[in-house]
Structure 1
Amino acid sequence: MILAPHPQLPAELAYPLVRRAVDDALLEDLGQAGDLTSQATLPPSATARAVMNVRQHGVISGLALAEAAFAQIGAGLQFVAHVADGDVVAPGQDIATISGNARLLMSAERVALNFLCHLSGIATFTKRFVDEIDGTGAKICCTRKTTPGLRAFEKYAVKCGGGSNHRFGLDDAILIKDNHIAVAGGVKQAVLAAKAFAGHLTSIEVEVDTLDQFGEALDAGATAVLLDNMTPKQLREAVHRAKGAARLEASGGINLESVRKVAETGVEFISTSQITMAATPLDIGLDINIQE
């Protein structure tokens, strides 16, 4: 019996990470004296209602960070989301409403939008890659090429866009790169050393850029092989040789124009730094209305 693929559950952010990142961002923006403009122009008791609105098609990511920005600026604001992370949105669509103290609202606005626009841009760009390879069975993965301090959130955004996460850091998997191979003395030596060192739950992947190296990786028993900068013809040959003995990942210079051809070779994973490093922020605005 062939089982249907299990549906992917939505990604989730750990709140301590959200709280710390938002605190840092608010402190960066408020400095020592706070929001001088709002203090100078708005009465302390003034209230307002604001609506977050998207100006282009995209995928939403980062609502928890936006909500936390308005919550952590101080008591007195209510945040109501009208969509969820991972939702596809259209130009003109309202995605959240914020109401309460006007000073607090204005002071948290930029931090909330910075997180939301940036992460939604990554989710949107990821979805373009995912849609491009629809039906091939391959998965789009991010890399460790992320903005320092924002890796957990950018990888979360990739998941919101339908992509998959590669390792989060140097400590959650072994990925033997070309420089490791050079120092270790070869692919086989590096993989065997890693197998002797690793615990039974630690995956071992090795990067190769020739089919000869690929053969060494298979013979040494690598869990996964990263096929770097190979042509579609070479990728198909690697898939044929592997016969399921190792999980295969393609990487290196892959973009929206080439990703479909790569996916059609039969590799299981396609990793690209573009989805985190080249994504344009989604255009989201906040319009405010003064309340009586």
Structure 2
Amino acid sequence: MTDLFTDSQAGIAALAARDAALALQEDVGTGDLTAGLVPPSRAVARIIAREAAVICGAPWLEAVVRALDPVAHVQWHCAEGERCAPDQAIVEIAGDARSLLSAERTALNFLQLLSAVATKTASYVDAVRGTRAQIVDTRKTLPGLRLAQKYAVRTGGGTNHRIGLFDAILIKENHIAAAGGIRAAMAAAAQVTAPLKFVEVEVETLNELDEALAVGARMILLDNMDLPTLREAVRRNDAMGEGRAVLEISGGVTLDSVAALAATGVDRISIGALTKDVKAIDFSMRFQEA
């Protein structure tokens, strides 16, 4: 599965099951020696959020739990994509005690990471509300967890960029230099017959913007431009009328700067920090006797 724009719930569940199997193999391996000390019994476990967050990762948590106890009962008190308060019990799990003990760390690892991505994304989405700018992710993801993190971006209200190098074309400065210029790179892109989500070209100056517009670019990445230059870029692009390109900002975007960047009138703001600079949300699991 590689297309998060059209994913079904079944596709997300399959992705979560794949990720859960790999993570459990890494953690449990040939068996949980410590959980084996516990006599067979049923237990109820609650997961508590220790801080405010946007909850994300329910399919992954459930996949981990049910991989070890297929008949475990999972009851959510805070739905996927909802905001929780500090010290709120967000989910209750009833099942085999040994299985829940073995599932605990892996389940929490997914929940803390994906909720962190969703929470951070939501903070940027809130900051640009009222503008036309969308908050967009990048390929700066944890190896092996790209699709999960991009799912979390969408849960937080953001938009996915390309999934990888295979589904869209993004012509950056090194591609332009190697190809012999914007015009040459765009001409080569026009010959690609594979299905593409988009063709985008990066520009660093207003002259490069004019050149990209002149060759018919319909999606342009404005790299590390200051606010006056961005406003002029938007003005020149809007003057194209129906030939207007989608304008995206990239480079050094922070929560403090994103509102001013969005106010320039750009369409998209891509932020690597959504997935690469995240602080895990603090969750804990507490057991009670069933």
TM-score range, shorter chain: over 0.9
Structure 1 unaligned segments of length 5 or more: list them. Answer: 1-7
Shift of 1:198: 4.3
> Which AA in structure 2 matches 1:141?
V
Q: Does 1:35 align with 2:32?
A: yes
Correspondence 1:201-212 to 2 at 5 A: 202-212=197-207
- Partner of 2:256 in structure 1? 257
Report how many aligned residue pairs link the two structures. Answer: 281
Correspondence 1:34-183 to 2 at 5 A: 34-40=31-37, 42-44=38-40, 46-183=41-178
Shift of 1:171: 1.3
Q: Tell me if structure 2 keeps the 8 A contact 1:11–1:159.
A: no
Alpha-carbon deviations, 1:7-59, whole Å to 9, x = none? x9998552221111100111111112x1101102x112x12111111111110
Q: In the aligned structure 2, how far is the partner of 1:177 from the partner of 1:264?
A: 25
Shift of 1:290: 2.2
- Partner of 1:17 in structure 2? 15
Change (3 A) 1:242 1:50: same
Q: In the aligned structure 2, how far is the partner of 1:73 from the partner of 1:260?
A: 45
Correspondence 1:178-197 to 2 at 5 A: 178-197=173-192
- Partner of 2:245 in structure 1? 246
> Which AA in structure 2 matches 1:151?
R
Normalising to structure 2: TM-score of the pair?
A: 0.93
Shift of 1:200: 7.4
Change (3 A) 1:216 1:233: same
Structure 2 unaligned segments of length 5 or more: list them. Answer: none
The alignment yields a C-alpha RMSD, in angstroms, of: 1.8
Q: Tell me if structure 2 keeps the 8 A contact 1:77–1:104.
A: no
Q: Tell me if structure 2 keeps the 8 A contact 1:11–1:156.
A: no
Secondary structure of 1:197 counterpart: coil
Shift of 1:201: 5.4
Alpha-carbon deviations, 1:250-283, whole Å to 9, x = none? 0100001111111000000000101111111111
Q: Tell me if structure 1 keeps the 8 A contact 2:135–2:269.
A: yes
Shift of 1:203: 1.7
Shift of 1:80: 1.4
Q: In the aligned structure 1, how far is the partner of 2:128 from the partner of 2:213?
A: 27
Q: In the aligned structure 1, how far is the partner of 2:196 from the partner of 2:95?
A: 50
Q: In the aligned structure 2, how far is the partner of 1:11 from the partner of 1:31?
A: 30
Identity %: 46
Secondary structure of 1:164 counterpart: coil
Normalising to structure 1: TM-score of the pair?
A: 0.92
Q: Tell me if structure 1 keeps the 8 A contact 2:69–2:96.
A: no
